[in-house]
Chain A
Amino acid sequence: MIDFIAGVLTSANYWFIVLRSTAPILLVTLGAVITEQAGIKNMALEGSMLWAALTGVIASAATGNAWIGLAAGIGASVLVALVLGFFALKLDANAVLCGVALNLVATGGTVFVLFSLTGDKGISSSLPSKVLPSLTIPLVKDIPWIGKVVSGQNIIVYISALAVVVIDLVLRRFTIGRRIRATGENIEAARAAGIDPIRIKFLALIVSGILAGFAGCFLSMGYTSNFTSGIAAGRGYVANAAQVVAGGTAVGSIFAAMLFGLMDAMATFLQNVGMPPELIQALPYAVTILGFVVVTFIRDRREAERKRRLFSGNGSGGSGTGISHARTPRSKAQGLTHGM
Chain B
Amino acid sequence: MNTIKRFFTDRDSLASLLVTVFAGLFSLLAGIVLIFIVSKNPIQSTRNFLLAPFLRSYNFYYLLIVMVPITFTGLALCIIYQLRYMSMIVDASFYTGAVVATAIGTQLNLPPGIHPAVAMLAAGAVGGLIGLLPAILRIKWRANELVSSLMLNYVFYFFGSFIILYFLRDRSQTILSSVPFKESFRLPRLVENTQLHAGFIIAAVFVVLVSLFLFRTRWGYEIRLTGANQKFAYYAGLPVTSIILYAHFISGFLGGVGGAVEMAGLYRAFIWQMNPSYAWDGVIVAMLARKNPRFVPISALFFAYLRVGADFMSRRGDVAFEFITLLQGLIILILASDRIVNYFKERRLKRQVLSRTGASEGGSR
Task: Give A residues with C-beta under 8 Å from B.
Answer: 43, 87, 90-94, 96-98, 100-109, 111-112, 115-116, 121, 234, 237-238, 240-241, 244, 276, 278-279, 281-282, 285-286, 288-289, 292-293, 296-297, 300, 329, 332-333, 335-340
Contact = CB atoms under 8 A, between A and B. Distances in A.
B151 A237 contact: yes
A286 B322 contact: no
B332 interface: yes
Nearest to B234: A333
B133 to A, nearest CB: 9
Given A333-B234, A336-B230, A285 B328 contact: no
A57 B327 CA distance: 24
Contacts of A97: 86, 332, 336
A340 B142 contact: yes
Nearest to B340: A91
Interface string B308-349: 000000000011101111111111110011111010000000
Interface stretch (B152-160, B181-189, B251-259): B152-160
B162 to A, nearest CB: 4
Contacts of A297: 140-141
Nearest to A234: B154
Nearest to B323: A112
Query: Which of A111, A115, A282, A335 neighbours the largest number of chain B CB atoms within 10 Å of its CB?
Result: A282
10 contacts: A92-B337, A96-B146, A97-B86, A101-B330, A105-B329, A278-B162, A292-B151, A333-B230, A336-B244, A339-B142
B336 A98 contact: yes
Contact of A108 (B88, B158, B166, B326): B326
A104 B159 contact: no
Contact of B38 (A105, A116, A241): A116
Contacts of A292: 143, 147-148, 151
B222 interface: no
B329 A108 contact: yes
B234 A108 contact: no
Contacts of B45: none
Given A97-B332, A104-B328, A112-B320, 13 more contacts: A91-B338, A91-B340, A92-B342, A98-B333, A102-B333, A106-B329, A107-B322, A109-B329, A112-B323, A276-B166, A282-B157, A300-B142, A336-B230
B82 interface: no
A292 B140 CA distance: 13
B161 interface: yes
Contacts of B146: 43, 96, 100
A282 B324 contact: no
A162 to B, nearest CB: 27
B228 interface: no
Contacts of A240: 144, 147
B190 interface: no
Interface in B266-287: 280, 283
Contact of B145 (A107, A332, A337, A339): A339
Chain B interface residue count: which class?
A: 35 or more
A293 B143 contact: yes
A337 B154 contact: no
A336 B240 contact: yes
Contacts of B144: 240, 244, 339-340
B336 A108 contact: no
B337 A93 contact: yes
Contacts of B148: 241, 289, 292-293
A331 to B, nearest CB: 11
B283 A100 contact: yes
B150 interface: yes
Contact of B150 (A92, A234, A339): A234
B227 to A, nearest CB: 11
Given A96-B146, A336-B230, A340-B144, A107 B325 contact: yes
Contacts of A336: 139, 230, 234, 240-241, 244
A112 B165 CA distance: 30
B339 A91 contact: yes
A93 B336 CA distance: 5
B294 interface: no
B278 to A, nearest CB: 13
A105 B325 contact: yes
Contacts of A300: 141-142
B234 A329 contact: yes
B329 A87 contact: no
A155 B58 CA distance: 53
Nearest to A97: B336
Contact of A289 (B140, B151, B340): B151
A286 to B, nearest CB: 5
B152 A289 contact: yes
Contacts of B325: 104-105, 107-109, 111
Contact of A337 (B34, B231, B322, B337): B231
B230 A92 contact: no
A10 B319 CA distance: 50
B235 interface: yes
B137 interface: yes
Please provide the 5 A-B residue pairs with the shortest distance between their CB atoms, ordered closest to farther. A108-B325, A105-B329, A282-B158, A101-B332, A104-B329
Given A108-B326, A282-B159, A292-B151, A101 B320 contact: no
Nearest to B137: A293
